[in-house]
C-alpha cells in the first residue's frame, strides 16, 4: 500500500469495499466513508473532538432500552428522521403528509367504537375528535383502521403515568371508519411536552440553546386495504412552540385549529358543562402503487 496522506486515504478505504457482492451495501459504505472523511477535513476535526463524539455515541447506546430510545432521539433531533420521512413516507400529491411515529405508540391498545370516550378517566379539558378518511379523489375510505394516541394536559402519555394508571391504557384507541369514512371519539386535550433531556441528546440541545419542546399534537396511524399506510400527527396551530418542534415534525400542512368552545353542545351531540375543544380533519390516503 502506498504511503497514505490526508487526501489519498479516502480512496484507499473506499476501495476495500469493492469486493462486496452487495451493490447497495457497497454504495452505502463507500459514500459514508467519503462524507465522513470530507467532514473531518472540512472542519479540521481534532482527535479530542472525535473522542468526545465517540464517547457521545457510546453513551447513546448505554442509556437506550426498549422504553428509552436515545439513538432514535438523536436521529430525531438531528432532523434525520424527518428527512427520511419526507423522502420515503410522503406519497405527495393530495395525500396527507406523514410525521414521525414517535416513542409512545404501543402495541396492544384497545379497540373502541366510534363515539367512545378514550380518556379512561384521566382528567382534563374534554376534546372531541372528528375525522374523515378519503382517497385522492375525495371518496370515503370505509373500514380504515385509525390508531389515535396523545398526551394528557400535562404532556404525559399513559405509559408515563404508571402510578396513576397501573399499566392501563388511556388516551389511545383503535377506531374504524364507517361507510362514509368517518371516525370520532371523545378524549382530553393534550399539551406540549419536552423530549427526554436527561441523556446525551439533552446535552446537545442545551449546548445549542435550542427548544426541547414538542408542540401540542395528536398522533394518528391509518391502515386500509389498498392504501399506503399513513403515520402522522396534527399540531395545535397557535401553540407557543409551533414552528420549533424539537424533532421537526410540525409541518405546515399538519397544523390544525383545535377549536376552543364554551360549555354547550359538543360535536357528538352531548351537552358539555365545561369548556371543550373540537378537532376536525380530513385525512387523504394515497392508493398503494403496485
Q: Site residues (CB under 5 A) for Fe ion?
A: 102
**What does the alpha-carbon distance between residue 175 and residue 39 come to, in Å, rounded to a whole number?**
47
- Provide the 8-state DSSP code for 67: T
| Residue 233: how many other CB atoms lie within 10 Å | 25
**What does the alpha-carbon distance between residue 149 and residue 258 come to, in Å, rounded to a whole number?**
16
- In three-state secondary structure terms, 128 is strand
**What does the alpha-carbon distance between residue 285 and residue 127 come to, in Å, rounded to a whole number?**
24
- 76 touches which of Fe ion, ligand BEZ, none (CB within 5 to 8 A by kind)? ligand BEZ
In whole angstroms, the minimum distance from the beta carbon of 214 to ligand BEZ comes to 6
Element containing residue 141 per DSSP (H, E): none
What residues between 104 and 143 interact with ligand BEZ by CB under 6 A?
104
The reply to whether 103 sits near ligand BEZ by the rule CB under 6 A is: yes
Of the two residues 76 and 89, which places its CB atom closer to ligand BEZ in the complex? 76
Of the two residues 91 and 102, which places its CB atom closer to ligand BEZ in the complex? 102
Name the one range near ligand BEZ by CB under 6 A: 15-23, 42-50, 99-107, 220-228. Answer: 99-107
User: Nearest residue to ligand BEZ, using CB?
Assistant: 102
Of the two residues 186 and 217, which places its CB atom closer to ligand BEZ in the complex? 217
Question: Given candidates 33, 73, 148, 286, which one binds ligand BEZ under the rule CB under 6 A?
Answer: 73
- 239 touches which of ligand BEZ, Fe ion, none (CB within 5 to 8 A by kind)? none
C-alpha cell at 4: 497514505
The closest alpha carbon to 148, from 117, 128, 173, belongs to 173
Amino acid at each position: 500500500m502506498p504511503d497514505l496522506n490526508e487526501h489519498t486515504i479516502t480512496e484507499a478505504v473506499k476501495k476495500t469495499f469493492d469486493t462486496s457482492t452487495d451493490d447497495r451495501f457497497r454504495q452505502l459504505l463507500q459514500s459514508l466513508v467519503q462524507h465522513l472523511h470530507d467532514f473531518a477535513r472540512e472542519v479540521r476535526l481534532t482527535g479530542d473532538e472525535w473522542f468526545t463524539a465517540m464517547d457521545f455515541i457510546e453513551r447513546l447506546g448505554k442509556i437506550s432500552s426498549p422504553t428509552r430510545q436515545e439513538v432514535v432521539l438523536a436521529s430525531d433531533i438531528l432532523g434525520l428522521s424527518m428527512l427520511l420521512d419526507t423522502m420515503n413516507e410522503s406519497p405527495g400529491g393530495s395525500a396527507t403528509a406523514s410525521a414521525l411515529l414517535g416513542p409512545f405508540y404501543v402495541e396492544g391498545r384497545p379497540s373502541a367504537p366510534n363515539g367512545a370516550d378514550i380518556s379512561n378517566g384521566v382528567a382534563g379539558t374534554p376534546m372531541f375528535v372528528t375525522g374523515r378518511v378519503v382517497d385522492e379523489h375525495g371518496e370515503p375510505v370505509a373500514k380504515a383502521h385509525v390508531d389515535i394516541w396523545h398526551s394528557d394536559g400535562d404532556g404525559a402519555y399513559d405509559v408515563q403515568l404508571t402510578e396513576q394508571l397501573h399499566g392501563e391504557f388511556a388516551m389511545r384507541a383503535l377506531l374504524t371508519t364507517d361507510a362514509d369514512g368517518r371516525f370520532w371519539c371523545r378524549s382530553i386535550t393534550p399539551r406540549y411536552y419536552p423530549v427526554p433531556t436527561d441523556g446525551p441528546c439533552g446535552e446537545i440541545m442545551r449546548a445549542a440553546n435550542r427548544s426541547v419542546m414538542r408542540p401540542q399534537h395528536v398522533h394518528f396511524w391509518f391502515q386500509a386495504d389498498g392504501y399506503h399506510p399513513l403515520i402522522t400527527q396534527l399540531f395545535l396551530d397557535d401553540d407557543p412552540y409551533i414552528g420549533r418542534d424539537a424533532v421537526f415534525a410540525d409541518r405546515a400542512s399538519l397544523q390544525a385549529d383545535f377549536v376552543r368552545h364554551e360549555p354547550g353542545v359538543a360535536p357528538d351531540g352531548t351537552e358539555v358543562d365545561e369548556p371543550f375543544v373540537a378537532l376536525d380533519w380530513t385525512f387523504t390516503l394515497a392508493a398503494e402503487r403496485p
